Structure 1
Amino acid sequence: MHAFNLQPKKISLAERLADMAVDALIDEADLSPKPALVDRRGNGAHTDLHLGLMHASALSLWPAFKEMADAALGCGEIGLPLREALGRIGREGEAAMLATTNGVNTHRGAIWALGLLVAAAALEPESSVASAVTLRAARLALLNDRYAPQSLSHGAQVAQRYGVRGAREEAQLAFPAVTGLGLPQLKRSRAAGAGEQNARLDALLAIMTTLADTCVLYRAGEKGLQAMQSGAKAVLDAGGSASLGGRRQLHALDQQLIALNASPGGAADLLAACLFLDRIERGDGLFPGVC
């Protein structure tokens, strides 16, 4: 076939949603300077993570996200069959991730959050407002997967110990840290001319101001959580990451969290969810070229 006769391959809705989920994870990883998190500067508070590993992990999850979207399209409705299919696919995706990272947990929380959102978006692609997508995701999260492991994750154990919301409860409440804090701040900072990278940093910080991040609690206890929340608020109060004062506060927060070994991985997962929903809302290629 002559090269000029080649036509771009149409991609399915499930493939496009998987693309968008992986893009959100890579954009979150690349965003810099994030306090105590892996980014383009370095490893933050981590000794077992680096940017290349985060990229490889994100890419390894593409098949799982596609399969989750296909499962939603196949089921066509919210119910136990879809919930349990998502649980099975998520566990298989986690195994693929751990095989890629040699056992390092890079994106376990993101599989849960983005998996639900991918499925919710696939169920009603014409209803792409973030509040509608997260509500569908919440309805899925409220269903009990009979085949889920009975042992609690570190995050769930920490949530019980401190009496705070974990990743499961955040999803069951329709991701309030994302829809009530992250996305509004992202839009405000954009409107103020902060630039896309600074707007995304501000969205992360807005999530951090109130989130009971179980990753921080696990690594640094209540002292680390208080430092994260108050430090993030100080950045935004100083004018956000696009301002000189905000950058000074952000640098101080980064240093403080690293000293405490407190990495806000839960907030990072929710930022990825925020970026995914932002793409869905703006219609960045969800329908064009989809077969």
Structure 2
Amino acid sequence: MRALASVPAAPTAQQIGRAATLALYDELALSPKPGLVTLTDRGSHADMDAQTFMRSLLALRSYFVRIAELGAAGAPFEALEQCGIAAEARMLAATGGINTHRGAIFMLGLLCAAAGALGQRPTPALIRQTLLARWGVALSARAHRPSTLPGGLAARRFHLRSASAEAALGFPTLFETAEPALRTARARGLCTTAARLDTLFAVMAVLDDSNLAHRGGLEGLRFAQASARGFLAAGGASQGVEAAVAIAAEFVRRHLSPGGAADTLAAACWLERLAS
């Protein structure tokens, strides 16, 4: 009698959370990244470096596990939000008040909760469906709250889709751009660095990144998007990283930093890690 194929077990909260921490390191370690902190470069940030990010990562490890546990327990959105607020306080304590991962606390935290709530082997489609089914109404209500954060204020000023609005829609840039871009790059045989770099630029090309709008206004955001489209049209990372290095230098000159794109790349790396 032919043995039945075993069904892959659902990841534990510990595995979900560990994948999130490692994914944030994946994003930090990628280089060159226009305007963003890497292991050897501050990018456009005078107030933080790789050590700042590592302190933040260590402070957030337990948060991703805890919020996955809350998701598995069927916790309401208010409980997830309070968990995130506490994590942000730990991040700021670890970094001396510097915001390294506020966006990732929000985005990856919600994704970890959704993965925990699944109770089965996660796929990108199932994670997105679960996020919207469990907390979509609450996320829509949150998206209508007036923001007091710099990114939220910039999104409202320039009529952009904010991070909260992205969440209320089930993170379309992650699931419709970043995850497919990373998967396709891997299928083409690109190395890890090239695949992640192309994914970052694919996100930069389409995302209403409020970090860019806050730092450079609408002109800065559109410049970043056009630069990303040009990089990809010229062949992307498969043609080498020289073009990315040149773009990075211009981002630093203009004080631009695509933090929202960085968070989305980290989330795509998390999805890939969960699937492996």
The alpha-carbon deviation at position 241 of structure 1 amounts to 1.1
The alpha-carbon deviation at position 238 of structure 1 amounts to 1.1
Mapped to 1, the partners of 2:95 and 2:129 lie a distance apart of 32
- The answer to whether the Cα contact below 8 Å between 2:73 and 2:117 also exists between their aligned partners in 1 is no
From 184, 191, 199, the equivalent of 1:188 is 184
Report Cα offsets for 1:246-290 as digits up to 9, x if no partner: x2321221122111101000100111111111222x2x3xxxxxx
Mapped to 1, the partners of 2:124 and 2:105 lie a distance apart of 18
Q: Which residue of 2 aligns with 1:73?
A: 72
- The answer to whether the Cα contact below 8 Å between 2:118 and 2:126 also exists between their aligned partners in 1 is no
Q: Which residue of 2 aligns with 1:19?
A: 18
Corresponding letter in the other structure for 1:272:
A
- The answer to whether the Cα contact below 8 Å between 2:118 and 2:130 also exists between their aligned partners in 1 is no
Partner of 1:143: helix, strand, or coil?
helix
Q: Which residue of 1 aligns with 2:8?
A: none
The alpha-carbon deviation at position 59 of structure 1 amounts to 1.7
Counterparts of 1:275-290 in structure 2 under 5 Å?
A: 275-280=269-274, 282=275, 284=276
Counterparts of 1:243-254 in structure 2 under 5 Å?
A: 243-244=239-240, 247-254=241-248
From 219, 225, 228, the equivalent of 1:229 is 225
Mapped to 2, the partners of 1:265 and 1:231 lie a distance apart of 16
Q: Which residue of 2 aligns with 1:288?
A: none
Mapped to 2, the partners of 1:228 and 1:200 lie a distance apart of 17
Q: Percent identity?
A: 36
Q: Which residue of 2 aligns with 1:7?
A: none
- The answer to whether the Cα contact below 8 Å between 1:90 and 1:115 also exists between their aligned partners in 2 is yes
Q: Which residue of 2 aligns with 1:211?
A: 207
- The answer to whether the Cα contact below 8 Å between 1:35 and 1:254 also exists between their aligned partners in 2 is yes
Mapped to 1, the partners of 2:43 and 2:119 lie a distance apart of 37
When normalised by structure 1's length, the TM-score is 0.85
Matched, 1:156 2:152: yes
Aligned length: 262
When normalised by structure 2's length, the TM-score is 0.90
Counterparts of 1:129-168 in structure 2 under 5 Å?
A: 129-139=123-133, 140-143=135-138, 152-168=148-164
CA RMSD of aligned residues (A): 1.8
Mapped to 2, the partners of 1:34 and 1:99 lie a distance apart of 26
Gap regions ≥5 residues in structure 1: 1-11, 76-80, 285-291
Report Cα offsets for 1:28-80 as digits up to 9, x if no partner: 111111111001231000001101111221121111111111112222xxxxx
Report Cα offsets for 1:199-244 as digits up to 9, x if no partner: 0111111000011110010001112111110111111111111213
Matched, 1:57 2:56: yes
The alpha-carbon deviation at position 174 of structure 1 amounts to 1.2
Higher helix share: 2
Q: Which residue of 1 aligns with 2:97?
A: 103
